[in-house]
Chains A and B, each alone.
Chain A
Amino acid sequence: MNITVKLFATFRNGRFKVARQEHPQGTSCRTIMLGLGLSEDEIGVVLVNGRHVPLDQVLHDGDTLALFPLVGGG
């Protein structure tokens, strides 16, 4: 299945901004995160199609996964 992966802030360093990736059915956000060399304690926010989800959320074809470190402002 086709997943659009978006990375933000420091996660882009040495990686990418946005990439379209092929993954087998049943792939979770966690699997993709680990594949990027990121660990759970670095993760701030996980969004799938603009909604907050837990890391173990299973993805579907055409989903957009956005990964952020903890960031803030205001």
Chain B
Amino acid sequence: MDKIIRINMNDLSTSTETVPAAWAGLGGRGLTSTIVAAEVPPTCHALGPNNKLVFAPGLLTGTPAANSGRLSAGAKSPLTGTIKESNAGGTAAQMLARLDIKALIIEGIPKEDKWYSLHVSMEGVAIREETELVGKWNFAVIEAIEARLGKKTGILTIGPAGEMKMTAANISVKDPDSKIRSHGRGGLGAVMGSKKIKFISIDDQGAPKVPIADPEKFKTAARVFAKALMDHPVSGEGLPTYGTNVLVNILNEAGGLPTRNFTVGNFDGADKISGETMHDTIVARGGKPKHGCHAGCIIQCSQVYHDQQGKYVTSGFEYETIWGLGADCCIDNLDDIARADNLMDDIGIDSIETAVMFGVAMEAGILPWGDSKEMLRILTEEIGRGTPLGRILGGGAGSVGKTYGVTRVPVVKNQGIPAYDPRSVKGIGITYATSTMGADHTAGYTIATNILNVGGYVDPLKKDGQVELSRNLQIATAAVDSTGMCIFIAFPALDIPECLPALIDMINARFGINLTGDDVTNLGKHILKVEHQFNIEAGFSNIHDRLPEFFATETVAPHNAIWDFSAAEIDEFWNF
């Protein structure tokens, strides 16, 4: 039977509960946001005892459904002050699902100034004092836990950034190769640090298979779903070959690649950091162009990147990281960007927030434009060691902008704006402005329809249709984020008619229920409204659904585009 496990760090106790009926149909983001909204006082301090950190696998996680192994983490965000859900691959989600754990809810803060670990197994959750790994960086933590508990152990860990409660700190998740995927956005690593939990280890030995109510129906739907993923050119060919970094060239050509802290829309060095160049470099050096973040991923958008000597540098090397440290910081050295990517995993800090932060830090004069060596030094010696400067930088783009008096600070609700200029790709600007998460491209990925001709086409340079596009995608994304599915299933789902019904059929077959397409849409709407209400009660209003002023006062080349939505036009978003 599915269960909820509560871990009370106030008195170091745990308890197991049956799943309340109201939560039975929820998973992933739908469940973390529902729990946070129900149990966390919206005005609480995100790093105080009243915040809760919730982990939940998706509705389909642990089943043989392709690409269903994502884990959602939720809490009130110390970076944005809003509700937060951040999902990641890795091995933990499927292990928790096999252990019948619908959610882990971590509450309170320990009385004593000690660090702890949680060990999750068939026996429940054990809270143990931890001394050896305190202060250790993430790769060392993973190595030590594997030596202590076995190679198959699932791991969620925080690095020094999380221990120091930096608001850009992430939660790192061990992937199938003992490398790292991340609950990246919103500073959830700081929440875990505030609860003095250095790591969570998971042992699923003896756990049964995830039960499926109608195995035949499931198998049929799973086959249709997997075929749709393989048949679509984006999920079946583009992503496995070039990774997400294929986007550098197309955003650069379309004039939407934010460069030099969002002052222009093209980067001279784009070719050197592009997905095409990265693919050729990986192949030439004996790395892996294809790689999955979890067992059962058939898209394989990740990769393993080697240096000139053929030695491992990083994996899961994403477009947003490469864009941010590359174009936005004017760095065209892909090897150094790869080293920084690995360092950010090791320190446990969000690679999007940190990349946007470096663009602002360069504008502030903390380091020169394009100086990748100084960037690597700052990551290691300032942020990693928690010097006063490192803590300012580890607070993200808004933190460094405020400290240094920079006015061009690309954040919404204090979260860094990623990889797509909202002046020249206007739909994504609506998503940045209105997302319940702060600036988050994945919340309603209009790039698909604005730039990539997936799910139709809406002209990125015009205002027409953008609010509706963003709304529809945000609703659909909230639902998909509840299934445990990778968001890249949206590409085939937008274009191949059989894809979404097959996904719904799998959910129905898993639980023996009869959801319709409308039910799924209503679930997405419901989740957004629950999150929005939390934010309102936390003190946010429509006034916070705005982009920074400079987007409306500075045009961006090459199209001389400007952010020209009125307040009333943006506020239309919430009319559903």
Contacts and interface: CB of A to CB of B under 8 A. Distances in A.
Interface stretch (A19-27, A29-37, A42-50): A42-50
Contacts of A47: 253-254
B253 A71 contact: no
Contacts of A9: 238, 241-242, 246, 249, 275-276
A66 interface: yes
Interface string A44-74: 1101001110000000000000101111111
- Contact residue range for chain A? 20 to 34
Nearest to A6: B253
Interface stretch (B67-75, B94-102, B377-385, B446-454): B446-454
Interface string A1-19: 0000010111010000100
A45 B453 CA distance: 7
Given A45-B452, A71-B242, A50 B559 contact: yes
A14 B326 CA distance: 28
A16 B125 CA distance: 57
Contacts of B472: none
A73 B244 CA distance: 4
Contacts of B517: none
A6 B270 CA distance: 14
B335 interface: no
Contact of A71 (B442, B452, B461): B452
B245 interface: yes
- Contact residue range for chain B? 35 or more
B305 interface: no
- The winner among A50, A68, A72 for most chain B CB atoms within 10 A is A72
Nearest to B445: A74
Contact of A10 (B241, B318, B488): B241
Interface in B17-74: none
Contacts, number: 96
A71 B255 contact: no
A9 B48 CA distance: 48
Contacts of B276: 8-9, 12
B401 interface: no
B262 interface: no
B2 interface: no
Interface string B451-465: 111100101110000
A44 B452 contact: yes
A70 B242 CA distance: 12
A70 B234 contact: yes
A2 B400 CA distance: 47
B441 A44 contact: no
B558 interface: yes
Contact of B454 (A10, A50, A66, A72): A72
A74 B237 CA distance: 15
A51 B448 contact: no
Contact of A50 (B232, B243, B452, B558): B558
Nearest to A70: B233
Nearest to B253: A66
A54 B315 CA distance: 37
A68 B244 CA distance: 15
Contacts of B447: 72, 74
B561 to A, nearest CB: 10
B244 A10 contact: no
B331 to A, nearest CB: 20
Contacts of B245: 73
B415 to A, nearest CB: 16
B239 interface: yes
Given A8-B250, A47-B254, A74 B442 contact: yes
Contact of A51 (B301, B453, B461): B461
B238 A69 contact: yes
Nearest to A50: B255
A9 B279 CA distance: 10
Contacts of B301: 73
Contacts of B343: none
Closest 10 CB pairs of A and B: A73-B244, A72-B234, A70-B233, A71-B238, A50-B255, A73-B247, A71-B246, A66-B253, A73-B319, A72-B452
Given A45-B451, A47-B253, A71-B242, 4 more contacts: A47-B254, A70-B238, A72-B454, A74-B488
20 contacts: A9-B238, A9-B242, A45-B451, A50-B254, A50-B558, A51-B559, A52-B451, A66-B253, A69-B237, A70-B238, A71-B233, A71-B234, A72-B239, A72-B448, A72-B452, A73-B246, A74-B319, A74-B445, A74-B447, A74-B487
